[in-house]
Structure 1
Amino acid sequence: MEILFDQMPNPFTYFVPLFFLLIAGEAYISYREDKELYSLKDSLASTWVGLGAAALNTLTKAYQIGLFFLFYKLFEPLRVEYLGYENLGWAWWVWVLCLIGDDFNFYWHHRFCHTIRIFWAAHLVHHSSEKFNLGTAFRNGWTIFMYKPIYWIWMPILGFNPVMIALCMSFNSIYQFFLHSTLVPKIPVFGQIFNTPWVHQVHHACNVEYLDRNHGGILIIWDKLFGTFRDKEVALETKFGVLHPPTKHDPITLNFHEFNDIWKDVKSVKSWRAKFMYVFGPPGWSHDGSRKTSKQLQQEWMASQQLTSSKEEKAELVA
């Protein structure tokens, strides 16, 4: 069975009414219980950014699928010659492998968005809100669609149908919508394998302890395997947003201000190494140490915690 690109269903069409219904319900609970989960300015920013992202995603969909089909067809003779098959087909187990492969790709794409500054510039808008609600899920960068498919190229090369890959990417995005809420408690067994709103709050937090953690989409096992998992601590107040929030909240500023800052930093130094690091180094890197990366901030935090603990132990001994 082959599904052509122009025949591909759009799963989002069926979920949009549910999305808005859940957002309305969450906003009502916030109002009734005075939780302040929403604000008008923040919600308007999320709406405009989300509309722009949806339009750009639609416009670039053909490019993404076309890129997948290019590698799918280009490597078909090699698959036949060396692997003994034209493509992997549409069996249920291929769907399972595709979903797992897609989530694996998303983890690394997402992780590099937090550790390489030029990619962070494209992704930062998703973390720019100081509120954490279902509406935040629509804050997607306008430039991220241009390079994101690169992480998925190996899948059409192996013979996964491009339409299947695109659908799995859509399912992943749909699942992630439900992660953006503080109203869902910790889910003990399910949360050991799958990503949940509880641990996704850690990912959106700007607490130093929580920076660059929990990058998974559907599965949280990637973070556990690759050392980026961090559970949420009940006793620690979670602060949402970014360490250096933008001064304006219009969609243009939210999407492009970090690119502008990168350009300023590149022009400010003469060293080609420093120029390279300002683009491809970790966010927060600076040639003169005036700013700090998340790892440096966490090392300082850990050192301060150890010092505090040492002082408390000495005080107990004296007492």
Structure 2
Amino acid sequence: MPNLPDPILWAIPGFILLVIAEMIYGRLTGKTRFEPRDTAASLVMGLGNTVSGLVLGGIVVACFVFVEQFALLDIGWAWYWFVIAFVLDDFVYYWSHRWAHTVRWWWADHVVHHSSQHYNLSTALRQPWLNPLTLKFIFLGSWLVLIGFPPAMIAFVAAFNLIYQFWIHTEAIKRLPAPIEWLMNTPSHHRVHHATNPRYLDRNYAGVFIIWDRLFGTFEPETDAEEIRYGIVRNLGTHNPLTICLHEWWGIIKDVRSARSLRDALGYWLGPPGWSPDGSRDTSATLKARWMEEQGLTPPRKPDAQPPVAAE
């Protein structure tokens, strides 16, 4: 087995230099926006994510080493296996990311990344601290190991996937040539993903290849007709790193404690973000449905119709 470095650790100095360069560019041109406290919070979250990866990463490693015993194939270390692993890992990332928006247990972790109301390179560094504890990797990442890809190879290509995603967190780049926009995830596509506008909710989950969204019906192009609003549906109003990290976990705990049945408890835990037993809270689906009705894109509901209840 080759001795593979950690690409992210090598990339961190470049991340910081590019954030500084974007700040200077924004100050000179006004084409990017930074808020000092927001940027500081993002950097603290990024540092915490690096530390937690060192502390908790052993959980993922132990799982993958265990699964490796049952691998179906003995895949080697030829260069083309790295390419295949990179593409397959991005396919896994698409579904992992999609689940992170539609299952509240995983959203509680991922919401950290969406909590900034600004969109710049520092936002890319705003990452959660408790990701291994969600156990999402068991349901999605493990199948690559089961096929026969070495865990170290998967970790290596996954790091490059995350490095790629750094540069798309910017407003400085508008749109790239059409062939690139068609195949690859770009700043334009990812701005849509970070938007809270109803038309953009839960769209463009891709990591590197936007083709997955086109294939699975979750692609939405950016339009110049509507200014993008960033953040989450109910913004936090604080830059406290602990609140950013833990607020949705605490929300789950409070809701589950108030549940009147096992069904309600499971809905609060594993249903979509915003789910409630009586449908009184908004989910992405209800927000989008209301917006489509207001735009005349769907027939209006009858006056006596009950509010839609989000599916578990």
TM-score normalised over the length of structure 2? 0.91
Q: Report the CA distance between 1:288 and its aligned residue.
A: 2.3
1:218 aligns with 2:205: no
CA contact (8 A) 1:65 1:163 kept: no
Residues 65-124 of structure 1, C-alpha deviations (whole Å, 9 max, x = no match): 33212211x215xx3xxxxx5x11012221121011100111111000100111111110
Q: Which residue is equivalent to 1:316?
A: none
What aligned pairs does 1:110-259 form with structure 2 within 5 A after superposition?
Answer: 110-146=97-133, 147-150=135-138, 151-187=140-176, 188-259=178-249
Q: Give the greater-gyration-radius structure (CA).
A: 1
Whole-angstrom CA distance in 1 between matches of 2:299 and 2:146? 53
CA contact (8 A) 2:121 2:167 kept: yes
Correspondence for 1:272 among 250, 262, 275: 262
Q: Report the CA distance between 1:31 and its aligned residue.
A: 1.1
- Is there any run of 5+ residues in structure 1 with no aligned partner, and where? 80-84, 311-319
Q: Which residue is equivalent to 2:46?
A: 50
- With over 3 angstroms needed to count, the CA separation of the structure-2 counterparts of 1:115 and 1:308, relative to structure 1, is closer
Whole-angstrom CA distance in 2 between matches of 1:50 and 1:263? 25
Aligned CA RMSD, in angstroms, stands at: 1.8
What aligned pairs does 1:36-47 form with structure 2 within 5 A after superposition?
Answer: 37-47=33-43
Whole-angstrom CA distance in 2 between matches of 1:309 and 1:293? 20
Whole-angstrom CA distance in 1 between matches of 2:249 and 2:58? 26
Q: Which residue is equivalent to 1:296?
A: 286
- Is there any run of 5+ residues in structure 2 with no aligned partner, and where? 301-312
SS of the residue 1:306 aligns to: coil
Whole-angstrom CA distance in 2 between matches of 1:184 and 1:35? 9
Q: Which amino acid aligns with 2:12?
A: V
Q: How many residues align?
A: 297
Q: Report the CA distance between 1:55 and its aligned residue.
A: 0.5
CA contact (8 A) 1:65 1:166 kept: no
TM-score normalised over the length of structure 1? 0.89
SS of the residue 1:282 aligns to: coil
1:75 aligns with 2:70: yes
Q: Which amino acid aligns with 1:92?
A: W
Whole-angstrom CA distance in 1 between matches of 2:11 and 2:188? 22
Residues 31-76 of structure 1, C-alpha deviations (whole Å, 9 max, x = no match): 112346111110111111111111011223333233212211x215
Whole-angstrom CA distance in 1 between matches of 2:195 and 2:101? 13
Q: Report the CA distance between 1:307 and its aligned residue.
A: 7.2
Percent of aligned positions that are identical: 40
